[in-house]
């Protein structure tokens, strides 16, 4: 039997603890979602690896947003957001949307909805959402959103983020 030794999360060295937690959290694979809208006629968006389905009835999803985000206040302003679940091959798109001080939408194909939600072309799924609440949780806000409408493309697989790298999914029956 393998013995596991757990150590305290907080050692008193904030930089070392943050690095250790980042490595620990990266062990959990997640999808990658672009959360976007049109504000003042311009596309605005962020990338969330914290996108999570929450409830079937009502249809709810959540994301976590850092308090230091300078984009979130503008993005969340009117409450309607588009969530595009990025597909395999969208790693560069994800990096571009997460970059600072650049035109995050340069060269990207997107479309909007009547609600001001913005969606990226060729995604694995799209959700038109309305923010219903936000809860302060440490250095992030947990944002709960109601899904108003949605669509998916079952012919593409979602992009996966694991161990601080982008990855593709491989189904058990695809292994050789």
pLDDT at 1: 72
Parent domain of 84: 29-155
Share of the chain above pLDDT 90, in %: 72
| Pairing verdict, β 33-39 and 42-48 | antiparallel
| pLDDT, tens digit (0-9, with 9 covering 90-100), for 149-158 | 999 999 999 9
Place of tokens 């809208």: 37
Alpha helices (H) in the chain, listed in sequence order: 14-26, 72-75, 91-98
Q: Is residue 173 part of a domain?
A: no
Q: Is residue 18 part of a domain?
A: no
pLDDT at 80: 95
Kindly report the length of the chain: 176
C-alpha 119/C-alpha 125 separation (Å) is 9
| pLDDT, tens digit (0-9, with 9 covering 90-100), for 92-130 | 999 999 999 899 999 999 999 998 999 999 999 999 999
Q: Is residue 67 part of a domain?
A: yes
Mean pLDDT of the chain: 92
CA quadruple 45, 69, 91, 63: dihedral, nearest 10: -80
Q: Is residue 34 part of a domain?
A: yes
The CATH number of the domain where 131 resides is what?
Answer: 2.30.110.10
pLDDT at 175: 55
Total-model pTM: 0.90
pLDDT at 47: 97
Q: 148 near 112, Cβ under 8 Å?
A: no
Share of the chain above pLDDT 70, in %: 97
pLDDT at 173: 67
Q: Is residue 54 part of a domain?
A: yes
Buried b (16+ CB within 10 A) or exposed e, 37-56: bbbeeebbbbbbbbbeeeee
Q: Is residue 45 part of a domain?
A: yes
Number of domains in the chain: 1
Distance linking the first and last C-alpha atoms of the chain: 30
């Amino acid at each position: 039997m393998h013995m596991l030794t757990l150590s305290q999360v907080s050692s008193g060295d904030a930089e070392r603890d943050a690095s250790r937690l980042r490595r620990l959290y990266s062990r959990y694979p997640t999808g990658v979602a672009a959360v976007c809208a049109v504000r003042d006629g311009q596309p605005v968006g962020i990338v969330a690896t914290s996108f999570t389905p929450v409830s079937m009835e009502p249809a709810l999803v959540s994301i976590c947003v850092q308090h230091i985000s300078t984009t979130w206040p503008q993005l969340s302003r009117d409450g309607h957001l588009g969530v595009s679940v990025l597909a395999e091959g969208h790693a560069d798109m994800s990096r571009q949307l997460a970059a600072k001080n650049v035109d995050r939408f340069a060269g990207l194909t997107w479309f909007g909805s009547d609600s001001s939600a913005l969606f990226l072309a060729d995604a694995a799924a799209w959700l038109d959402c309305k923010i219903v609440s936000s809860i302060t949780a440490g250095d992030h806000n947990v944002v709960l959103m109601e899904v108003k409408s949605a669509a998916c493309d079952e012919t593409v697989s979602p992009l996966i983020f694991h161990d601080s790298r982008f990855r593709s999914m491989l189904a058990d029956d695809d292994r050789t």
